[in-house]
A and B are shown apart, each in its own frame.
Chain A
């Protein structure tokens, strides 16, 4: 390859400049959230607005931890629980769908795709009745199970597509060596498809962390409310304390930001993998 023409190089950097501008505009709301999270409340109510936190304060974060700290811990706990539930159910199912030649595999796959389109409010409506009968309202396990309905079908479809790519020779070799179905699955299949399992787990975490509908319908006691509902109630009660509110919003965004940095390559796989048949 010949070295690019210097003028062509300059044009490419001009594109980078334009891209920076686009990213700046599109991510401006996030900057504005961060900016407000560091400014004292009274300064936020000044006109014109302050574009930079020239006199930063951590009061907002203190208030956010005071009011949302507990909710953040609950969200973390519920999201981790959902990851476990999702992987425990979806990964074996995906393997069965990929390799067992089940007679009803096509039907099951269709069901997994179609239930992802079931409106959440319908599930919340009937799970509320069910939970009130069996005592799972205001229960973190109940919430995990409800939220798992967002991630189990997604993860199963995603993993099935990936597990299908595992060569048959591997499984056969393990079977010849006397390994049972579960041993083959746990010792060979899961390690081989580590990346897609991580992707599925990440998305289960994010779906759960972001869930609002199940949280607001199935939990009413403040002691077990996750952070989405915590913020929602905070907006209602302290509509003008933008400093603490934006600090809470920043805290609730941390997992997404962290995942984007550490797991970006998994995310683009998951973006479509769980909802589009391969």
Chain B
């Protein structure tokens, strides 16, 4: 995955300048001394000593600033500002008239009171939990199964594994639209197959019944998430040394024992990464639900993200939408921090 530093391409790039190439070849393998000299700005005075001239050195400082200052400003405007504005807005009575007269009086905790007091709050929170946990459980289990399967070497395994990435690359909106067609009550192929197999007696109203809509959006979301889980877990599996398996096989360990006592413990760091990333991304899912059920019917698939959207952009209560958004941020950030800690632990363990 990572680029290995090699001399070959370096020298090739400099092929135009023979002088440089020879100088490069003359450099020690780890040119640490030169590096420190460069850093302190005390370059040995030679024909090219750009740092010696104070004006040039000032220009170089400016040039270096040019690398990261625009990006930092960008981060401030497109991440810092929205975050701050969202917090401020959640304490304001921001409605559609605010856009015309610019007035949005502060109303204290009224937005939070309205949102938390709404009976929809517990519904959306519960829906978000169910959607996230169910999606992750199935994505992970199926992804792990596929990763284990594709680790065995057989003809065309690489090509077939690559093909499985396709669902992950499609726009979520496209996948959602396709599942609308697959899960159509009357003409959908899923109901047709289930009826023919005798698993159901009547067509399931997947998208129009409050009892089935959550299952429908989870099914679609699991399908979308399988490739991501499979690829990362596959990467984790390939980094486990085959010699360990050979040793275990010599000791007479069966397939299940090898998985239980070898694969599973060694895969744990990767497992935690894939689950945490999945969690953080699933918790803010929006597109799939919007296109499949529009968060309905009767709020059966209303998630925190879709509710925030509807409060702001359908009911034009931007303050309340912001308040729900902040609840979502707190949950997402909580898990994000857990995730980053898990990653750091993994790094420390390596």
Distance between A76 CB and nearest chain B CB, rounded to angstroms: 13
Which residue of A is nearest B5, CB measured?
A167
Count residues of A near B (Cβ-Cβ below 8 Å): 118
**B103 contacts A by Cβ under 8 Å:** no
Of B8-16, B108-116, B248-256, B260-268, the one contacting chain A is B8-16
**CB-based contact B192/A49 at 8 Å:** yes
**A228 contacts B by Cβ under 8 Å:** yes
Chain A residues with Cβ below 8 Å from B171 are 209-210, 212, 228, 252-253, 256
Q: Mark A157-189, 1 if CB is under 8 A from B, else 0.
A: 000011001111110111111101110010010
Distance between B87 CB and nearest chain A CB, rounded to angstroms: 9
**A36 contacts B by Cβ under 8 Å:** yes
Distance between B286 CB and nearest chain A CB, rounded to angstroms: 6
**A73 contacts B by Cβ under 8 Å:** no
**CB-based contact B223/A29 at 8 Å:** yes
Cα–Cα distance between A154 and B1 once the two chains are bound (Å): 16
Cα–Cα distance between A47 and B196 once the two chains are bound (Å): 12
Known: A114-B340, A178-B48, A260-B166. A125 touches B321 (CB 8 A): yes
**CB-based contact A44/B332 at 8 Å:** no
**CB-based contact B23/A173 at 8 Å:** yes
**CB-based contact A115/B164 at 8 Å:** no
Cα–Cα distance between A249 and B228 once the two chains are bound (Å): 21
**B312 contacts A by Cβ under 8 Å:** yes
**CB-based contact B280/A172 at 8 Å:** no
**A61 contacts B by Cβ under 8 Å:** no
**CB-based contact A242/B81 at 8 Å:** no
Known: A123-B78, A181-B64, A264-B162. A129 touches B318 (CB 8 A): yes
Q: Which of B67, B226, B309 has the most CB of A within 10 A?
A: B67
Which residue of B is nearest A145, CB measured?
B78
**A58 contacts B by Cβ under 8 Å:** no
**A278 contacts B by Cβ under 8 Å:** yes
Select one of A36, A46, A111, A122 contacting B82, CB under 8 A: A122
Chain A stretch 106-127: residues in CB contact (< 8 A) with chain B: 108, 110-115, 117-127
**CB-based contact B235/A272 at 8 Å:** yes
Chain B residues with Cβ below 8 Å from A149 are 78-79
**CB-based contact A172/B154 at 8 Å:** no
Select one of B85, B186, B335, B336 contacting A126, CB under 8 A: B85
**CB-based contact A47/B17 at 8 Å:** no
**B240 contacts A by Cβ under 8 Å:** no
Chain B stretch 155-197: residues in CB contact (< 8 A) with chain A: 155-157, 160, 162-175, 177-182, 184, 186-187, 189, 192
Chain B residues with Cβ below 8 Å from A180 are 50, 59-60, 63
Which residue of B is nearest A33, CB measured?
B178
Cα–Cα distance between A12 and B157 once the two chains are bound (Å): 10
Cα–Cα distance between A181 and B146 once the two chains are bound (Å): 46
A-B contact pairs, 16 of them (CB 8 A): A19-B149, A32-B182, A45-B186, A47-B192, A92-B71, A117-B333, A125-B318, A129-B318, A130-B82, A152-B75, A177-B20, A178-B50, A192-B10, A235-B291, A249-B178, A252-B174
8 pairs of A and B residues whose beta carbons are closest in the complex: A210-B171, A93-B71, A256-B169, A126-B85, A15-B154, A126-B82, A119-B284, A96-B67
Interface residues, chain B, with chain A CB atoms under 8 Å away: 1-5, 9-10, 13-14, 17, 20, 23-24, 27, 31, 34-35, 38-39, 43, 46, 48, 50, 59-60, 63-64, 66-68, 70-72, 74-75, 78-79, 81-83, 85-86, 89, 94, 99, 146, 149-150, 152-157, 160, 162-175, 177-182, 184, 186-187, 189, 192, 223, 226, 228, 231-232, 235, 273, 277, 280, 283-284, 286-287, 290-291, 305, 308-309, 312-313, 318, 321-322, 325-326, 328-329, 332-333, 335-336, 340, 343, 347
